[in-house]
Chain A
């Protein structure tokens, strides 16, 4: 266990060293947060601020700032570290290490996410609160569960990204998959719009997919839009399912891998 903790701590510190990049990222998050919030305020103006599909203006805006704040924590786009090690052959070295391959990358990702909570989530969420009167968590229990839900969201997000990455055992070029993955995350996770806005038949399908466990459920738990136990249970299910699936697919890829020496 100590080795996993150590791995997590390493990547935690690594994130903290890039201060300039963090500041720049915060600025970009803030501008996008303001643009998105302004657009939703505009939409709600058309219905005189009435709730739409059970979502009030303040709830929607709070949800959008939560998404902006956890964007880098979840690392939704462009994480191809494992795929690159498969391309370069460095993956062979990682496979030789006396640690579980999934555990090795998961602990690194958890360390990274923890650091992003401090440098990206907290400041972005404070900026959102200063610019807009965001809603407080539905209760103290919801606030506590919110953080648990973010942690589980990171595991689900990692499980998804792990699968995308190890597709590199079979695919030479991950760009095509990257586009499909980005499109899926955008529309199916609740990043662009609260999922409740989707037409019912589509919503019924989307609710069966893992993506809402990454962005939507943490937001719903914060706002009290979903029973805490139900939200966390869905996330636990997808965390376990995706990690097991990842481990199994990896074992298939492991047998197939051929690394050129030299």
Chain B
């Protein structure tokens, strides 16, 4: 009975949240030039990194035994995941400011989950420039690398992308959780968000033991991009993990989400308003 009620409340919350999100989006569309400029800008910024990649492959030929098409496949998967997560969690990323200005109280007195509210409070499509670039890169990779597609591989790719989006959304949430205690050190989380998505664009085995440990077993980014890609590209695992590793993305992401969810609850409980 209780769980039924929880489920119904969750459904109602989602309806409310969808309405808030729609309002925010409609508001942004009023400023179309600004919106298009931001999309174009992200594309331009990303294209410089792509130019660097092409130049480096021109000079060096390969990276960790991978050719340019295979590395571009990693870039594509990583950017698609990151841009979707960045778009979804834009509101969560504004929580530190909300807390500093004492506005977080407002979220707490409403009968909807604070996290969901924060999330839809500032929905923004401006990060989608990266999704466009990710999709173009995916097209390029598919053209450059012959992949034996099977239904299993397609499913693996989709599941990994969904797991990756969940994982990165939750990493962005850590920034907000840190802000419940201090707003001074949140920049450190950038090492895992931007750093993590940057690292995921390269064959994981070129990194040293320390970095590999952090990004596999603490923040499991390696499991959502690199391992599924190994299977899709039919490459052997130079790191010698058990054969199940490419299928671990959903489990690792779920475990990580659960851990961060717990931290969020503790954080909200710890929250003391700035009272201004």
Contact = CB atoms under 8 A, between A and B. Distances in A.
Interface stretch (B22-30, B183-191, B247-255, B257-265): B183-191
Interface stretch (B39-47, B87-95, B149-157, B266-274): B39-47
Given A34-B211, A46-B62, A52-B59, A28 B188 contact: yes
B207 A38 contact: yes
A53 B58 CA distance: 12
Contacts of B63: 39, 42-43, 46
Contacts of B45: 179, 182-183, 186
B86 to A, nearest CB: 16
- Residue of B56, B59, B202, B211 most packed against chain A (CB within 10 A): B59
Interface string A185-199: 011000011000111
Given A28-B195, A192-B52, A38 B185 contact: no
Contacts, number: 112
Contacts of B60: 43-44, 46-47, 52
Contact of A179 (B40, B187, B195, B199): B40
A46 B61 contact: yes
Given A21-B184, A183-B47, A192-B48, A197 B41 contact: no
A44 B206 CA distance: 11
A18 B51 CA distance: 36
A192 B37 contact: no
A187 B52 contact: yes
Interface residues of B, number: 40
B34 A42 contact: no
B201 to A, nearest CB: 9
Contacts of A30: 191
A30 B113 CA distance: 36
Interface stretch (A82-90, A105-113, A170-178): A170-178
B101 interface: no
A32 B202 CA distance: 13
B185 A20 contact: yes
B231 interface: no
A198 B55 contact: yes
B125 to A, nearest CB: 15
Contacts of A27: 188, 191
A33 B204 CA distance: 16
Nearest to B52: A192
B244 to A, nearest CB: 26
B49 A197 contact: no
B55 A32 contact: no
8 contacts: A23-B185, A34-B210, A42-B64, A45-B206, A175-B41, A186-B49, A187-B52, A193-B52
Given A193-B52, A193-B55, A199-B55, 5 more contacts: A23-B188, A35-B198, A39-B202, A173-B34, A180-B41
Interface of B: 34, 37-38, 40-42, 44-45, 47-49, 51-52, 55-56, 58-64, 182, 184-188, 190-191, 195, 198-199, 202-203, 206-208, 210-211
